Amino acid sequence: MSRAFGTFNALRDVSLTIERGEFIALLGPSGCGKSTALNCIAGLLATTGGAIYVDERRIDRLKPEDRGFGMVFQNYALFPHMNVRANVGFGLKMRGVAKDELKRRVDAALELVRLGNQGEKLPGQLSGGQQQRVAIARAIVIEPPLVLMDEPLSNLDAKLRLEMRAEIRRIHNQLGGTTIYVTHDQDEALSLADRIVVLRDGEVRQVGGPEELYAAPAHLDVAEFMGFRNRVTGKVTGVEGDRATISVGDTQLSGKASGALQPGSAAALVARPDDLTVGATGIKASVESMEYRGREFVGLARAADGTELVFHGSERVAPGTAVSLAVDPARAIVFPVSP
């Protein structure tokens, strides 16, 4: 599947097979093509190359309403003048479903999203989380083969996001359907998806389960997007089995080798903030700030070459303090880079 806007390729030969019943997350930064891909699947955007199939049926030439998919938008897209029941039942009414059947299916959908007693209210009388539940009920009431969700939690506060995240997965499991979910939030993708598709510049960079993407990103850009915020560059001094060592100034750092690494070649070691701690040896840096996060502190330090480093600690360290930041070699990854 490809999509071009003039000379700009928003999607470049994206190829993906999704099994029935899977929960797939399209993950990536703004502008990577994830919403474009979802809109092409939905039929809201035409593809400029490739084809989209559901089972053996080609659907990219069909109108959106003929594809039969449910869609949940970022801004809910509810009709403000219709009550909850009318909003949920709108798609069924347009399909000519009989009144008794329409009522039964609307009742079932509202019960599933735990809004059985809110049917007569207008959207404006509901909280943001309740409005999103209505949007989900409207998407699933038509019993679609595929539900498409475009960053549905981005307008909710942190507490509601966590609650709705659990609800979305519960509903998916209960229905046994297929879901494609667009997000830029790695935590959402990790907690919800059976498989994550990481996109960058309109291309698929990696596809895998949450555990694989979290622990073993295949590319440097994927690692950085999956939370490996610390990146230091140096020269490879040794490769043994699946381990590589690089020199960063006068410090030797080790991590899991990824890609073609040769002694003397340029490389970058990446690590998550919770895998950097103040120790007796490590990267020399100066602490710039510390934040209290409840059970621990999160600090920002700067190495001599200007590299920012984020680390965790059990005690507050005063700004300006010189520290050595030790990197957990079992959790760091070394990637080749251009010199």
Nearest CA-CA partner of 50 in 40, 38, 39: 40
Tell me the per-residue pLDDT of 38-55, one tens digit each, with 9 for 90 and over. Answer: 999 999 999 999 999 999
* pLDDT of 339 strictly over 80: no
pLDDT in tens, 140-160: 999 999 999 999 988 888 888
User: Residues of the chain with pLDDT > 70: what percent?
Assistant: 100
User: What tens digit of pLDDT does each residue of 20-35 get?
Assistant: 999 999 999 988 999 9
- Would you state the pLDDT for residue 181? 97
Label residue 189 by pLDDT band (50, 70, 90).
Answer: very high
* pLDDT of res. 88: 94
Q: Is the pLDDT of residue 280 over 90?
A: no
pTM of the predicted structure, to 2 decimals:
0.90
Q: Which residue has the tokens 């190495």?
A: 303
pLDDT tens per residue across span 202-246: 999 999 999 999 999 999 999 999 999 999 999 999 999 899 999
CA atoms within 13 A on the CB side of 328: 12
Place of tokens 């007569």: 120
Structure tokens at 227: 């939370």
Percent of the chain with pLDDT over 90: 82
Q: Are 35 and 197 in contact (CB under 8 A)?
A: no
Contacts of 84 (CB under 8 A, 6+ apart): 110, 115, 118, 119, 120, 121, 122, 123, 126, 134
What is the reported pLDDT for 75? 83
Mean per-residue pLDDT of the chain: 93
Give φ, ψ of 336 to 5 degrees. Answer: -70, 145
- Going by C-beta distance under 8 Å and a sequence separation of 6 or more, which residues neighbour residue 263? 236, 237, 238, 239
Mean pLDDT to the nearest integer, 287-298: 93
Distance CA 200, CA 30 (A): 9
Q: Quick one: average pLDDT of 278-289? A: 93
